[in-house]
Each structure stands twice: as C-alpha cells, then as structure tokens.
Amino acid sequence: MSHPAALDRSERELLELLNGLGAAWVTFQLYPNPLDQAPFLRAVDLLAEHAGDLPPIGIGPGTFFVGGEEIVPEREGVEKFARQLFVHDVETLEVVGDPTAQGLAAFFEVISRPDDEVADAGGIAAALVGMPSSGLRIKQRGLLNLVAGDGTESEPIDPLAELVGELPEPARAALHGADPDEIAEAIVELEDGDGDPSAVYVDAFHELRERIDDARADPAASLRAGIRLPPEDPYRTLRSYIESFFHLPRWLQVEVLERVLAELSRPGHQMFLDQFSGNDLSELLPELSEPAQERLLEYAVQAASDRAGHPLDLLAGLSSAVEVEAARRSVADRVTDVLRAASRGVFVGDLEVLRSEMEAEIDPGRFELEVIRGLFECEGRQDRFQRVARVWTGRFTRHLRRNELPQAHRLLVGVLDDPPFGEDRLPVVRRALERMTTTDVLFRIADADETELADEILARLGSAAVEVLVAKLGEEEDAARRRHLVEVLGRVVRERPRDLEGHLGDHRWYLVRNLVAALGLSGTPRAVDSVRLVADHADHRVRTEVLRAYVRLDRDAAIPALVRALADPHERVRQNAIGLLEAVEAEDVDALLVNELARDRLPTDTAVAVVELLGRRGGRRAEGCLRELAGRRFVFGSRRRALRRAARAALEADS
C-alpha cells in the first residue's frame, strides 16, 4: 500500500493521471456532451503529457497496480473506472500518446457497454479496433476464457506474459525485439535468488521456442494474445535470443552449453547448437567438461553427415579438444600452403586453362536449349511444368519476331526430337504448342529465308498448325492471303499429309478445294491417297483441283486419272484434264488417249479436244490414230464428222 506522503515523483504523476481519467469517466457518464467539459479535456491533456513515460498499469477489481504495488484510488470515480475496466477483462492499461477527445470518448463508450455484450462481440480489444486514437492501449486478459467459456482458471497464452515471471524487465523488453546484448545483460543482472542464470537462460529459450510454435500453429489465437510474429520470419526473436548467448560472459556460456549438451535429445537443443558456427563451438570445446566434450564431438559426426554440410564438420572425426586446436591451426596452414604455391607460380597453368575457358566463344542458344531441356526434365510439379512449356514457346516466338529462325529452330527441334520429359507430359507440351501457333507465327516461319529450317519447324508443329490454318482458310476472304495460307499448309503437311483427311469431308467446297491444293503443294507422293478421297467430290471445282494435285504429286499415277477425267460430267474438269495431259510427256499417254477415243464414250467437244491434243503431241501412235480418223470415207452423224475434221486439221498443221 502506498501512502501519499511517501510517493515519489512518478507515482504522483500516476495518481494525477488516474484521478484525471476517473474524473473524465464520471463526466462522460453524467454529461450529454462530455467533450466540452473541463475534466474531460484535462484528461486528454494529461494523456498527452504522460505519453510513453509511464509503465503499464495493471487493473484489479477497483484498484490499479504498478510493478506489483497497488495504487489505491483516492476518488470514487477512479475506483469505478478500474472496476469497469476489470469487468471487461482489461489486464493492463498503457499511455501511448496521441490522445484525442473523440478517441477518449469512444474508449469510454466501449467501456460503458455491458460486459457480456462486448464479450459476445469478440472482446474489448476487438471492440476498440478502428476507433480514433484515445492515447490509451489496453491488453486483454485470458483471451482463451472467451473461447472456452469457463471462468478465470484458464492459462493466458501470451508467451511474453508468461515469461514475465521468469525473466527480469530487460529480457522481456528484448523479447519485444531488443538487441541480443540487452538480453544478455538482463540474464547477467539476475539477482541472487532469481535462480541459476544458466537454468533461466535455457528455460527461457524453451519457453520462447514453444510459444512461437504454438503461435504458428494457431496464428489467430496468438494475435488475440498480442503476439505478432512476422509471417516471413517467425523465428527472428528466437534467433536474437540465441545470439545473446555470445554476449554472455564466458563462464556462463560454458554453463549454458553444459546444460544444452546434457540433454541433447531434448527438442530444441540441437537447433540451439545448429545456430553456432564451427568456430564458436571449437573455441568453447576445450572449456567444457569431458562428458560434454564427448557429446559435442559425437553430435558433430552426426551433424556433419547432413546433406547440407554443417558447421560442426570442423569437429567431426576428432576425438578430443586438443586435436581441435591443432585442426584449427591447420586451417590457416593449408591456406598459406596454397598461397605459397601460387607465389611460386605452381598454378599458372591452371589459371591459363580457366582463362581460356572463360574467354571461349559462348553460344547463347546452346545454353538456352540446355536450360530449357533441364527444366523440362527436372520439373515434377504439374503447374510449373506448364510454365516451363510456356516460357519455352515464348522464347521460340521471340526468336521468330527477331528473325532468328536458326535459334528458333534449335530450340523447338532440340526439345521435340529428343523429348526430355515422359510420355505423360506430352499433352501439356502439345497444348503449349497449340497456344503458341497462330497464323502470324506460321507466316513468320514460312516466310523466313531459311526455307529448309522453316519446313522442319512447320512439320513439327503438325496438327497444331493444321488446325489453325484450316480454320483461317475457311474464313479468309483475301485471295492473296488465302493463297499464302494454302502454301504454308502444304509445307506443314509435307511429313504427315493424312493430318488433313479429317477436314476433307467439310461441307464447304471451297475449303476442300484449298485443302486439296495444299496437299498438291506438299509435294509428297504419299498425299495422293488423301487426295483420292475427294476425287469424286460433288463439286467440279474440287475435282479440278484434285487433277492438279495428282499431277503435282505423282505424274505417272496421275495419267490414268486424267484420262478418266476426260469423261467427267463437267466441261471445266474435262478441259482441265486436257490441259494437264498436254504437259505430260510420257509415251503411254498417247496410247491411253487413243484407247479412249476408240471406246468412243467421250463427249464430242472433249473427243475433239483429244484429237487436237494428239495432233500437237505428234507421236507415232498419235499420228496413226489421226490418220485412221481422217481417212474414214463415210461417217455418219455430226460427232464423227467433227472428229474427222479435227483429225484432218491436225495432220495438216503437222505437215
């Protein structure tokens, strides 16, 4: 109990503030507009004046506490204020500065609400969130009570609060983020009777570590308890705590280490050691007791086998502290040896090798392909594999835009011809290629100067390119662009003409005609089979195109088809067949034509055209045939006469 006469300055200030707050609290309750009242404004002034220079004020049922001492209120209003705070589970009150009258009024308003209403809404701390600044900060007690719904028994989960009992003030401050040296100072300043400092140090380490683990497991609860762990580095506090070890006096370091080593399997102890550098431990080793030395060296062997290497590998394989000293000395010796050898020029040759390797011509494209292949190979995650595929196609198109076809070619072919990924990944890669393949990209490839490389690329884009080009062909209105599309399509299907077969049944005759034209342009004899599928297409324009395609793809195989087309119901087809036959020089064409005439089933105009054609061809067989036709004395009907006329004309022109 404090007596007014014995009060020191800070206690007087505290009383003054509490009295002021009590008066303002009463004012708030009595006046409809308290903000204009002198006591209220006075309280705001007091809060501003004492900002930051008063310790947290504990709340009891009708009293206040500071540093374990009870501050007995001198006025009734103060007592009521304390009681009301207590009702709302306020544990401490802190004057933090920046008060506003509105803020204080809002604070009082919340405090004046019924306690169960506030509790139901998430507690006093939650109710104050978002309010204007009152200059006061509260800490809420036993937050779990609200969740658990039982009385006052449940434990507070604030690790800082719990550590309060075990650590002196500076250590507590340190846990709020102070420097390691301050933590160490707090430990060293432990007074007699506060316990063995090394025990306090180790216990506090465990306390802290466990609380951080708790907080990570349940961040919401920890937030309610006032613990803010930086999400990106929740262990920062623990690290600075361990760092404080290095600010302890040597004897205390040794004692702490003895404790840690005595229970090396206890959770956290290895983590504690892992924070040290090899140097740290090797320096402390000689001062440890023999059993502790043994345990440390044992742990060193175990830890050094860790895949990441370990600081303790300095100690691994050694059996005593004496050897450690020698090992440390040999470190410097070995480095010096290297330097001596260097100064004698021993490594000049090695350096020369390195230099020429570094200055060797670099082929960026090779690296690009190797890295992409490596990424495809090692990426096990589905979504990231997709990303690899996208970056790959992205780089491919970037090369195209820069007219770097050889690089683009290497990147694409280098992956597709020897895939670094399993079969199951192929659909993902296909999809990426499909997404990349636009007419623009295809034109860029097709128009490149390096036609051979371009064709190789187009062939590998295969079905993706086919779909794009066919779709485009179906809608392109500009004749020149359409022609371009057909040409590119022809190159795309060069390797796999059957890719187009699926589209040959399309209902649009003009599309089918273009596809046939593309097949013709592909130049690969295998395409004939695909062309043949539409040889009897209902539209004569398609049938005409089929003839052209035949001639382009396989001249010999085309002849019978051309001859057959002479009997086509459509005149244009027949005319085209004649035209195409004219260009065919094979001997047997004459025989086929002669036979056809002999069978006498061609329409008259076509038969006449064939006679004229035979005349122009002028071979031995043709001539015989013409003479036979021309020499007929009696012919009946206009058709026969027309043929004889044509044959005679042809023979005349010939001679």
Partner 1 sequence: MSAAAERQVSAFLGGLRRLSRQVGLYPEGHPATQEAVELLGEAVQEFLDGEPEVTLTIFQEAFFRNRVVVPHASLEYRSLLQEMEQRGLETITLVPPISAADLFDLAAFVGGVSDDLPADGTIVLNEPMTVDPELDPTPASKLRTSYGNVLDAIRHASSAMVVRGSFELGTVVDAVEGLFEHTLSHPGAALLLSTVKSHDEYTFFHSVNVCILSLAVGQMIGVDRDVLVPAGVGAVLHDIGKVAVSPEILNYPGRLSAEQWKEIEIHPQEGALAILAAGGEGSEIAANVAFEHHARFDGEGYPRVSRVRRPHVYSRLVQVVDTYDAITSRRAYRRAEGPSRALQILLDGAGSYWDPDLVRAFIQMMGVYPPGSILRVDDGAIAVVVSRTEEPGAPLSVVTVVGPDGCHLDEPEPTILPLDRVVRQELPDDVGVDPASLLETIEGGLRV
Closer residue to partner 1, CB minimum distance, 412 or 622: 412
370 near partner 1, rule: CB under 8 A:
yes
**Rg (the chain; Cα; Å):** 48
Kindly identify the residues of this chain, within the stretch 224-243, that bind partner 1 according to CB under 8 A. Answer: 231-236, 238-239, 242-243
Closer residue to partner 1, CB minimum distance, 289 or 305: 305
Kindly identify the residues of this chain, within the stretch 464-483, that bind partner 1 according to CB under 8 A. Answer: none
Under a CB-based contact definition with an 8 Å cutoff, are residues 75 and 23 in contact?
yes
Q: In what order do the strands lie in the sheet with 90-95?
A: 69-71, 64-66, 57-59, 90-95, 136-140
**Segment near partner 1 (CB under 8 A); pick from 19-27, 125-133, 555-563, 611-619:** 125-133
Interface with partner 1 (CB under 8 A), residue from 2, 154, 275, 604:
275
**Segment near partner 1 (CB under 8 A); pick from 11-19, 277-285, 466-474, 534-542:** 277-285
Interface with partner 1 (CB under 8 A), residue from 5, 6, 220, 332:
332
Query: Least distance in Å: CB of 139 to partner 1?
Result: 13
Token pair of 625 as six digits:
């045939």
Strands 90-95 and 69-71: unpaired
Closer residue to partner 1, CB minimum distance, 205 or 550: 205
Interface with partner 1 (CB under 8 A), residue from 7, 72, 110, 131:
131
Query: Least distance in Å: CB of 107 to partner 1?
Result: 12
Phi, psi of 58 (to 5 degrees): -75, 150
335 near partner 1, rule: CB under 8 A:
yes
- Spatial distance between the Cα atoms of 597 and 614, rounded to a whole number of angstroms: 11
Interface with partner 1 (CB under 8 A), residue from 60, 374, 406, 631:
374
Interface with partner 1 (CB under 8 A), residue from 347, 443, 509, 510:
347
319 near partner 1, rule: CB under 8 A:
no
Interface with partner 1 (CB under 8 A), residue from 7, 41, 72, 97:
97
Token pair of 523 as six digits:
């130049």
Give rounded-to-5 percent helix, strand, coil for the chain.
Answer: 70, 5, 30
Closer residue to partner 1, CB minimum distance, 243 or 506: 243
Closer residue to partner 1, CB minimum distance, 216 or 632: 216
Token pair of 28 as six digits:
């708030």
Strands 90-95 and 57-59: antiparallel
Question: Closest Cα partner for 559 from 538, 590, 527?
Answer: 590
Kindly identify the residues of this chain, within the stretch 37-96, that bind partner 1 according to CB under 8 A. Answer: 51-52, 96
Token pair of 511 as six digits:
């599309």
Kindly identify the residues of this chain, within the stretch 170-199, that bind partner 1 according to CB under 8 A. Answer: 179
Token pair of 627 as six digits:
């003479």
Query: Least distance in Å: CB of 420 to partner 1?
Result: 8
The CB-side HSE value for 164 (13 A sphere, CA atoms) comes to 8
Interface with partner 1 (CB under 8 A), residue from 398, 508, 572, 632:
398
Query: Least distance in Å: CB of 342 to partner 1?
Result: 4
- Spatial distance between the Cα atoms of 235 and 513, rounded to a whole number of angstroms: 72
Query: Least distance in Å: CB of 295 to partner 1?
Result: 17
296 near partner 1, rule: CB under 8 A:
no
Under a CB-based contact definition with an 8 Å cutoff, are residues 519 and 551 in contact?
no
Interface with partner 1 (CB under 8 A), residue from 61, 70, 155, 367:
367
Kindly identify the residues of this chain, within the stretch 614-633, that bind partner 1 according to CB under 8 A. Answer: none
The CB-side HSE value for 625 (13 A sphere, CA atoms) comes to 28
- Spatial distance between the Cα atoms of 201 and 184, rounded to a whole number of angstroms: 9
Query: Least distance in Å: CB of 227 to partner 1?
Result: 13
Kindly identify the residues of this chain, within the stretch 498-557, that bind partner 1 according to CB under 8 A. Answer: none
Place of tokens 């490594």: 347
362 near partner 1, rule: CB under 8 A:
yes
**Burial category of 635 from C-beta neighbours within 10 Å (exposed 0-12, middle 13-18, buried 19 and up):** middle
Kindly identify the residues of this chain, within the stretch 299-318, that bind partner 1 according to CB under 8 A. Answer: 303, 306-311, 313-314
Place of tokens 């993902």: 428
Closer residue to partner 1, CB minimum distance, 239 or 627: 239
Place of tokens 């450690």: 324
Interface with partner 1 (CB under 8 A), residue from 30, 38, 121, 271:
271
Question: Closest Cα partner for 429 from 483, 485, 373, 481?
Answer: 373
Q: How many residues bind partner 1 (CB under 8 A)?
A: 83
Kindly identify the residues of this chain, within the stretch 399-438, that bind partner 1 according to CB under 8 A. Answer: 420
| Residue ranges in 31-138 assigned as alpha helix (H) | 38-49, 76-87, 101-111, 115-120, 124-128
